[in-house]
Amino acid sequence: MEALYTIAREGEGSMRDSQTILEQLVTFGGGKVTESEISMILGTSDKNQLRGIIESMVKHESDKAVSFAREIYKCGKSVEKAARDILSMLHNIVLFSELQNSGCLEAPAEETEWIKSCASMASTPDWIRLFRFWSSEYGNIKSSDFSLMLFEVAVITACTFPTMSDFRSFAQNIASAAKPLGETEKKNDGNGGTLRQTELKNRETVEKPENIEKKAVLRPDDTKAGSVMEAEKTLSSGLWRDFVETFRNKDPFLYGRLLSLPYKEDDSSVRLTIDAALNPDGDDFAKQLESGFSRFSSGAKTLELDFEKGKKLSIFTEEELRRKAEAEQRKQDMMQSGAVKAALEMGFEIKGVSTNEE
């Protein structure tokens, strides 16, 4: 039966090709067709070598996996066929690992028992990932003039894959790598609640659309160079606010951009501060604003523009700035943690760190 399954696989679904292979084997084998005869004549690898590679990959034993790969090559077997047969075996392992039904396997009884045993060595997601990886590598191996080199590197790469349990452990370590934001989360606020609860309520109130204009704006102190930024509330209404509102529907992008600009309005003028670093089109932008505001106000007020270079103006409240600083510190703590260092050693690439409290 093992020999018949091997012939069927070599025929790749074609009855005519399978019959031709069988006739050739009968001729060369003197009327006797065994699995070892097929392996010798067709150049297919010994099943124990292929199984050894798969088991070594899932056990992370790269030395054994490479040894089996070189054994296949030294025996004169086709590396391309070995890669194909490994892919077929991985397909059956994935099927049984997920479905737990041997009826879906196209394999002889002895191989079916090995598939069942091998499937229990890793989780279904681990097998799926290995199958997808090997499928991609097989395409490279069969079309390359350096198939053995690619085969060996593919085997070594597969041996370095972390398991899903490694991922879960890594995620848990990341979650506990840094302390939660705020040291006073559970302290009483004096009103029957915690400071953390009070802070969230205040934050919800500030972030409602109808309260956006009431957010504090940080400005540099004009009287003291290099002094600490102080909070200064923008007017909740006024000519500038009315002017900005005209863009809400006709140009939402410009509307949002204008909302973020700190300003100060009095009876005769509106003083607008523009961060040059955030507005590279400063001159053109300024001319458009001056022209548009002049038409809108009909000369009732003048628009004065201040370009700040190298100063980081902010539209955040002091509390929000404090939280941003804590979030940044938390990121730094995470990046210096043992969990992240271990992840980098495992081959992970850290593309970003999220400090979302939710």
Q: What is the pLDDT of residue 4?
A: 82
Q: Cα(270)–Cα(291) distance, rounded to whole angstroms?
A: 14
- Residue 322's alpha-carbon distances to 185, 186, 215, 327, in angstroms, are 14, 18, 15, 9
Spans in the chain with pLDDT lower than 70: 39, 41-44, 171, 174-237, 276-282, 308-321, 347, 349-358
Beta-strand runs (E) in 70-166: none
Domain-wise residue ranges, the chain? 43-161, 217-315
HSE (side-chain half, CA atoms, 13 Å) at 184 = 9
Q: What is the pLDDT of residue 209?
A: 47
**What is the number of other CB atoms lying within 10 angstroms of the CB of residue 162?**
16
Give tens-digit pLDDT for 182-193. 444 444 545 555
Among 198, 230, 237, smallest CA distance to 214 is for: 237
CATH, range 43-161: 1.20.272.10
Q: Cα(259)–Cα(244) distance, rounded to whole angstroms?
A: 7
Among 247, 280, 249, 244, smallest CA distance to 262 is for: 244
| Coil/strand/helix, residue 194 | strand
CATH, range 217-315: 3.30.300
Q: What is the pLDDT of residue 16?
A: 87
Give tens-digit pLDDT for 122-142. 999 999 999 999 999 999 998
* Residue 65 · residue 159 · CB < 8 Å: yes
* Residue 316 · residue 218 · CB < 8 Å: yes
Q: What is the pLDDT of residue 215?
A: 39
Q: What is the pLDDT of residue 45?
A: 72
**What is the number of other CB atoms lying within 10 angstroms of the CB of residue 44?**
21
